[in-house]
Structure 1
C-alpha cells in the first residue's frame, strides 16, 4: 500500500512542505505522497481521527495546532514533552500516534549552518511565547546557548517557558525594545510575518551593528522584520533553513532516511526570490 503524509494548519496555502517532501520522495525513489490539509482549530480532533482512519503514515503540524494537538496523540517523545509542542506525528507499527518536535533542532542547525558555532556565548532575545518559541528555546539550551531572554506581548507566557527551561528571563516587549543593544542574537519566533497587516513586534532602532537577526517565517524570504534589521546593519538569517532542516528530521522519523537539505534550500530559495 502506498504511503501518504500530510501537513495540517490554518492557514496552509503558503506551505512549501508538499513540494519539499514530494521532491524528496522522487529523489529517493520512495512510493509516497504528501498533501496539504487546511484544518481549522474547531475541527482538529476530528481531523486527527480522520487521518488515522484513512491510514496516513504521519503528518506535520503547523500553526496554530502545535500545542493543541497533544491531547489527541497517544505518546510524545521526550523533546516534545519538554517543549509542550508537536510539529511531527508518526503512526507507529501498532497504530498509535506519537508526537515529536523537530522545530527547535531544525532552527539551530540552520542558524549555525549560516553563522557558525562561535556565537553560543552571545545574549539571545527570543520573541514569542508559542510552541515555536518554546521549541527553539529548549534547542538553544541543548546546543549550549545559556543566556536566553524571551519577550512576548503576554509576559506570563514567556515566563512559563523560562520556568520550564530553567534558565534565562522573561521581559515585556517595551523592555526588549529599550534594551535591544544588549543582545547579539534576536529571533522572531511568531507567525506575524505571515500576515498582510504585519507590524514589527519590537522596534529595531537600538539594534547593534553586526547582530544576528533571524525570522522563523520563510515565505516571504525577506519579512518586514528582516528588512528592518538589514537596514540597521544586522546579519540576516531567514526561516527557510529551519523549515528544510525540521522537515528533513521529520522525514527521518517517518522513513529512516535523511534527505538532501542543501539542494532543497537552494531550490526553494530560487523559487521564493
Structure 2
C-alpha cells in the first residue's frame, strides 16, 4: 500500500507541492503519494492526529496553519523559537519542524549571495518572516523587519533579538544600507500582480531583491529590481528547497532537487 503524505492549508487548491513531491517519489521509484487537503484552523489538531492514525508518512502545513500548530505537537528547537511549523514527521510520535528559513537561505546561496554580515530587510511579519528572521540572524545576518503594522514588526524583532522592527514609512532610509531585501508578504501574488511595496527609485544597484512569491515567477517587485539594476531572485527555489528538506526529514533519502524544480516550474506554466 502506498505511503501517503500531504499538505494542509486553507485555501489549498493553489498548492503545487503535490506536483513537486509526486515527481520526486516517481523519480526515485518510491511507492508514495502526496495530496493537498483543505483544513480550517479549528480542525488542525484533529487533522494531524487523523493523519497519524491513518499511517501518513508526514505532512506540510501552509497558510494559515503554520503558527497554529505550536502547542498542538512537539517541535524541534528551531521551530519552537520561530513559533511556526511547516513540516510534521510521524516516525517517532508527532514532531514539527520549520524548513522555510533553510529554503530561503539555500535559494540565496544558489544565486551566489552570502548572508553572513549582510544587512537584510524583511518585509512582513508573518510565518515566513519569522522563519527567515530567526534563521538568518542565527547565520550571522543583520536583520531588520518592516511591516504595514509597525507593532507586529517590533514584536517579532523583540522575540528574535538583535533585530529592529518598524513600519513602512522609513523604508527609504533603511533601504540605503540594505544588502538583501526579502518580501515575505503576499503583495504581488496572482491575481494582484501589479501590486508592489518597493519601487525601483527606492532601490540601488548593489541590492539583492528576493521575493518569496513565486506566482508569477517574475513579480512586479522583481521587475522593479531589474529596472534599478539590482539582482532579482525568484521565490520558486525557496518552495523547492523547503520541500526538499521536508522530504529528507520524512524519508531519510536525498531528494532529487532538479526533478522537484522542473515539476514546480512546469506547474506554474500551466
- TM-score, length basis structure 2: 0.91
How far off is 1:143 after superposition?
Answer: 2.3
Cα distance between partner residues in 2 of 1:266 and 1:30: 18
Cα contact 1:180–1:204 (8 A) shared by 2: no
Which residue pairs with 1:135 in the alignment? Answer: 131
Stretches of structure 1 that go unaligned for 5 or more consecutive residues are none
Q: Which residue of 2 aligns with 1:99?
A: 96
1:251 corresponds to which of 247, 254, 258: 247
Q: Is the 8 A contact 1:125 1:151 kept in 2?
A: yes
What is the distance in 1 between the residues matched to 2:117 and 2:65? 33
- CA-CA distance at 1:9 after TM superposition: 1.3
Aligned residue in 1 for 2:214: 218
CA shift at 1:193, angstroms?
Answer: 3.4
- State the 1:239 CA deviation: 0.8
CA distance in 1, matches of 2:113, 2:268: 24
Native 8 Å contact 1:177 1:204 kept in 2: no
Structure 2 contact 124–185 (Cα < 8 Å) conserved: yes
Structure 1 counterpart of 2:180, from 155, 179, 185: 185
2:25 aligns to what?
Answer: 25
Q: Quote the residue 1:61 is aligned against.
A: 61
Q: In the TM superposition, what is the alpha-carbon distance from 1:175 to its structure 2 partner?
A: 0.6
Aligned positions of 1:1-273 closer than 5 A: 1-73=1-73, 75-93=74-92, 96-117=93-114, 120-145=116-141, 147-197=142-192, 199-269=195-265, 271-273=267-269
SS in 2 for 1:259: coil
CA contact (8 A) 2:190 2:216 kept: no
Give distance in 2, aligned partners of 1:194 and 1:42: 26
SS in 2 for 1:105: helix
Q: Which structure 2 segments of 5+ residues have no match? A: none
Give the number of equivalent residue pairs: 268
User: In structure 1, what is the Cα distance between the partners aligned to 2:144 and 2:261?
Assistant: 29
The Cα RMSD (Å) is 1.9
Query: Which structure is richer in relative contact order (CA contacts within 8 A, separation 6 or more)?
Result: 2
Shift of 1:103: 0.4
Q: Distance in 2 between matches of 1:200 and 1:175?
A: 16
Distance 2:76 2:258 in 1: 27
Q: 1:35 to 1:204 in 2, by over 3 A?
A: same
Deviations 1:144-188 (A, max 9, x none): 21x211001122222222222221211111111443222121000
Farther off after superposition, 104-113 or 35-44 = 35-44
Q: Distance in 1 between matches of 2:130 and 2:148?
A: 15
TM-score (norm 1): 0.90
